[in-house]
Chains A and B, each alone.
Chain A
Amino acid sequence: MLTPFANEPILELRRGPIRAQLADALAALDRELPLDVAVEIGDGARVGDQLLSTDPGAPDRVVARAAATGGDEVQAAVAQACLGFARWRETSQEERSAALIAAAAWMRERRLELTALEVRECAKPWVEADADVCEAIDFLEYYARAGLELGRGRELLQVPGERNELRYVPRGVVAVISPWNFPLAIPCGMTSAALVTGNAVVLKPAEQSPAMASRLVAALRAGGVPPSVLGLLPGEGEVGAALVRHPDVAAIAFTGSLPVGKEIVRAAAETADGQRHFKQVIAELGGKNCVIVDADADLDEAVPGIVGSAFAFAGQKCSAASRVLVHEAITDQLLRRLAGAARVLVVGQADELGTDVPPVIERAAQERVNRYADVAARDGTIVATAESPAGAGWFCPATVTTDLPDGSPVLEDEIFGPLLAVQRVRDVEQACEIVDGLSFALTGGLFTRDPATVRRVSATTPVGNLYVNRGITGAMVARQPFGGNRLSGTGMKAGGPDYLLQFVAQRAVTENTMRHGLVV
Chain B
Amino acid sequence: MSTPAQTSTISEDAVEQEVRRVGAELWQAFPSSSRHPVKALDARAMEMASGDRELRTALFRFVDVVPACRSLDDLARHLTGFLDEVPETSPPLSAAIKISHTKAGRAALGAAAAGGVRHLAHRFIVGETPNAALSTLRGLWDQGVASSVDLLGEATVTEAEADRYAARCSEAIQQLAPATAHWPPRAVLESDSSGPLPRANVCVKISALTPLLKPDAPARGQRDAAGRLRPLLVQAQRSGVHLHIDMESLDSREAVLELVLELLDEQEFRDGPSAGLVLQAYLRDSPDQAAQVIDWARATRRSPPLTVRLVKGAYWDHELVEARQHGWPVPVFEEKHDSDRNFEALTRTLLAARPAVRVAVASHNLRSVAHAIAVNRVSGGEDRDLELQVLRGLGDELQHALAARGFRVRTYCPVGDLVAGMAYLVRRLLENTSNESFLSEQARGTPLDQLLAAP
A interface residues (Cβ-Cβ under 8 A, vs B):
6-10, 12-16, 19, 126-127, 295-300, 303-304, 307, 329, 336-337, 339-341, 343-344, 346, 352-354, 449-452
Return the contact of B65 from the options A6, A13, A16, A449 (Cβ within 8 A).
A449
A-B contact pairs, 11 of them (CB 8 A): A6-B327, A8-B327, A14-B251, A300-B154, A303-B157, A337-B161, A339-B158, A341-B158, A354-B220, A450-B78, A451-B84
| One of B66-74, B89-97, B269-277, B445-453 at the interface | B66-74
Is A451 a contact of B326 with CB atoms below 8 Å? no
The minimal Cβ–Cβ distance linking A74 to chain B, given in whole angstroms, is: 41
For B65, B158, B250, B251, the residue with the greatest tally of chain A CB atoms inside 10 Å of its CB is B158
Is A337 a contact of B216 with CB atoms below 8 Å? no
Q: A300-B157, A354-B220 provided; 7 other pairs, C-beta below 8 A?
A: A10-B326, A296-B65, A297-B68, A343-B159, A344-B158, A449-B78, A452-B81
Query: Cα distance A297–B327 when bound, in Å?
Result: 29
Query: Cα distance A12–B254 when bound, in Å?
Result: 13
Scan residues 144-161 of chain B and give those whose CB is less than 8 A from a CB of chain A.
154-155, 157-161
Known: A449-B64, A451-B81, A451-B85. A354 touches B157 (CB 8 A): no
Known: A14-B250, A450-B78. A298 touches B215 (CB 8 A): no
B244 on the interface (CB 8 Å rule)? no
Classify chain B's interface size. Answer: 20 to 34
CB-CB under 8 A from B130, the residues of chain A are none
Residue interface mask B207-239, A partner, CB < 8 A = 1: 000011011110110000000000000000000
Query: Cα distance A452–B82 when bound, in Å?
Result: 9
Scan residues 54-83 of chain B and give those whose CB is less than 8 A from a CB of chain A.
61, 64-65, 68-70, 74, 77-78, 81-82
Query: Cα distance A14–B331 when bound, in Å?
Result: 12
Known: A299-B154, A343-B158. A353 touches B326 (CB 8 A): no
Closest 7 CB pairs of A and B: A340-B158, A9-B327, A14-B215, A13-B216, A354-B217, A300-B155, A353-B217
CB-CB under 8 A from A329, the residues of chain B are 70
Is A296 a contact of B69 with CB atoms below 8 Å? yes
CB-CB under 8 A from A127, the residues of chain B are 216
For B64, B82, B155, B161, the residue with the greatest tally of chain A CB atoms inside 10 Å of its CB is B155
Query: Cα distance A346–B220 when bound, in Å?
Result: 10
For B219, B251, B328, the residue with the greatest tally of chain A CB atoms inside 10 Å of its CB is B328
Query: Cα distance A307–B214 when bound, in Å?
Result: 14
Known: A14-B216, A329-B70, A346-B220. A304 touches B157 (CB 8 A): yes
- Which residue of B has the minimal Cβ distance to A455? B81
- Which residue of B has the minimal Cβ distance to A327? B70
Query: Cα distance A149–B158 when bound, in Å?
Result: 50
Is A344 a contact of B84 with CB atoms below 8 Å? no
CB-CB under 8 A from A299, the residues of chain B are 154
The minimal Cβ–Cβ distance linking B79 to chain A, given in whole angstroms, is: 11
Is B154 a contact of A9 with CB atoms below 8 Å? no
Return the contact of B212 from the options A296, A303, A344 (Cβ within 8 A).
A344
Return the contact of A354 from the options B61, B219, B326 (Cβ within 8 A).
B219
- Which residue of B has the minimal Cβ distance to A295? B70
CB-CB under 8 A from B78, the residues of chain A are 296, 449-450
For A297, A307, A353, the residue with the greatest tally of chain B CB atoms inside 10 Å of its CB is A353
Is A449 a contact of B61 with CB atoms below 8 Å? yes
CB-CB under 8 A from B70, the residues of chain A are 295, 329
CB-CB under 8 A from B219, the residues of chain A are 354
CB-CB under 8 A from B158, the residues of chain A are 336-337, 339-341, 343-344
The minimal Cβ–Cβ distance linking A221 to chain B, given in whole angstroms, is: 28
Known: A8-B327, A343-B159, A451-B82. A298 touches B216 (CB 8 A): no
For A10, A343, A354, the residue with the greatest tally of chain B CB atoms inside 10 Å of its CB is A354
